[in-house]
Amino acid sequence: MAKSFFRRAAKTVFITINAVVSVCFFLACLSPYNNPAKWWPTGFTGLIVPYLILVLIFFSIFWLLVKPRLIWLPLVSLVAGWQQIPVVFAWHPGAGFSKKRHENAIRIADWNVQSFNGLSKNRDIKKLAPSQIADALIKLQPDVICMQEFNTATVSDNISLFRKQYPYHYFSKDYQRAGNYQSGCIIFSRYPIIDTGRMAYPVAESLIYADIVKGSDTLRIYTTHLQSFKFKKNDYDDMEKIREQDEETLSASLNLFRKMKLAFSRRGIQSNMVRDALDKSPYRSVICGDFNDVPNSYTYFHIRGERQDAFLQKGFAIGRTFISLAPTLRIDYILPDRSFEVKQFEMVDEDLSDHILLVTDLLLKK
């Protein structure tokens, strides 16, 4: 009797958990269609999609082994959210990356270089970071380099580190201070740049583009850095308080919640601005940069549209690009339009930034 009771109770608990996860997943599936600038909760649900997918896969296996007739509970959810699954995982194991490229391909590198300071807190080591970052990029021999959080100044002319190999560049100069200090997004190119443009956001770095002439083709390369959560040391301390159930947990949670809600809303506005700019491009184009949002977000789906995702075309696994906080944060992208063929793609962790360096070879289709 007792055994039967516990069996029924366990079944009820598992069904309830499965139902709650399914509802959360359904809500998360609305993320691509709801601009967080108008309805911010979708920003939060998009962050947990990879975990919800894994739990639903677990329940599919669990019910198959324990109660096959209940397998429809997780399967219906997974089928309903079919759009969310392919953007989380890439399935190209062993694709690799060759330094040698197709003779007509264009190689593009993208990197948020975290203020060009490296990861070390040692002041002397920090001084070496700009040249180490430049060397890490140049050794990959890209034709075009896009960076976010790039900076330069009179005392440290970081542009000069690239000038010999990349005679053309366009710099957004979003933030400026004394000493001729300038920071923002930058595009370096081996090929001539015939036109450039900048679209400023209300807050954060800009969307910029450079029209590059390669042979008889003109290509438009965009890069951008969308609104971040702007977490500081005290915010990471707040996360630790939440993990340890500190007595200040409620206050810490509210602080983080307010910052995240604001960032989701701002990215919703910025995503619309980017989409409008991409739609007006007179040339075949590639957009890359730090979107500060995961693939299950409105930001990603709205900007990507019908474009390709270089990671999904040639990468493998989840593809984390931001090394802090969680193992599922793929927030940096290279998105070429359909006129390109993605030949290869790689993520390179040089331990010089809190972001991973992305590099891809693209071949323009005839």
CATH number for the domain spanning 159: value is 3.60.10.10
> Are 151 and 233 members of one domain?
yes
Within the chain, what is the greatest distance between any pair of CA atoms? 82
> Are 241 and 117 members of one domain?
yes
pLDDT at res. 12: 84
> Are 26 and 158 members of one domain?
no
The residue that leads in pLDDT, 107 or 24, is 107
Cα separation, 208 vs 224, whole angstroms: 6
Residue 93 placed within a domain: no
> Are 163 and 293 members of one domain?
yes
> Are 334 and 241 members of one domain?
yes
Residue 7 placed within a domain: yes
Contact 108, 144 (CB under 8 A): yes
State the DSSP code for 280.
T
Instruction: Give the amino acid at 36.
Output: P
> Are 147 and 74 members of one domain?
no
> Are 168 and 20 members of one domain?
no
Residue 129 placed within a domain: yes
- 245-252 mean pLDDT: 51
- 31-37 mean pLDDT: 83
Residue 267 placed within a domain: yes
Cα–Cα distance list, 305 to 27, 226, 299, 301, 347 (Å): 21, 17, 10, 6, 23
Q: Name the nearest CA neighbour of 33 among 336, 366, 296.
A: 296
Residue 164 placed within a domain: yes
Residue 213 placed within a domain: yes
pLDDT at res. 260: 77
The residue that leads in pLDDT, 32 or 95, is 32
The DSSP element (H or E) to which 151 belongs, if any, is strand 144-152
Residue 344 placed within a domain: yes
Q: Which of 58, 85, 112 is the last residue of a domain?
A: 85
Cα separation, 331 vs 292, whole angstroms: 5
Q: Which residues contact 82 (CB under 8 A, 6 or more apart)?
A: none
Could you give the number of structural domains in the chain?
2
What are the pLDDT digits (tens) for 196-234? 999 998 777 899 999 999 989 999 999 999 988 654 444
Q: Is the pLDDT of residue 71 over 60?
A: yes
Which ranges constitute the DSSP H helices of the chain? 2-28, 41-47, 49-66, 72-80, 123-138, 160-163, 233-243, 249-279, 298-304, 310-314
Average pLDDT across the chain, whole number: 85
> Are 122 and 221 members of one domain?
yes
Which residue matches tokens 């300071």?
Answer: 117
> Are 213 and 68 members of one domain?
no
> Are 147 and 54 members of one domain?
no
> Are 214 and 250 members of one domain?
yes
> Are 69 and 102 members of one domain?
no
Q: Which of 33, 61, 85 is the last residue of a domain?
A: 85
- 317-342 mean pLDDT: 90
Q: Which of 24, 55, 85 is the last residue of a domain?
A: 85
Across 133-147, 148-162, 339-353, least confident range = 148-162
Contact 326, 296 (CB under 8 A): no
Query: Per the structure block, which two tokens stand in for 196?
Result: 């450039």
pLDDT at res. 246: 52
Residue 91 placed within a domain: no
Domain that holds residue 227: 98-364
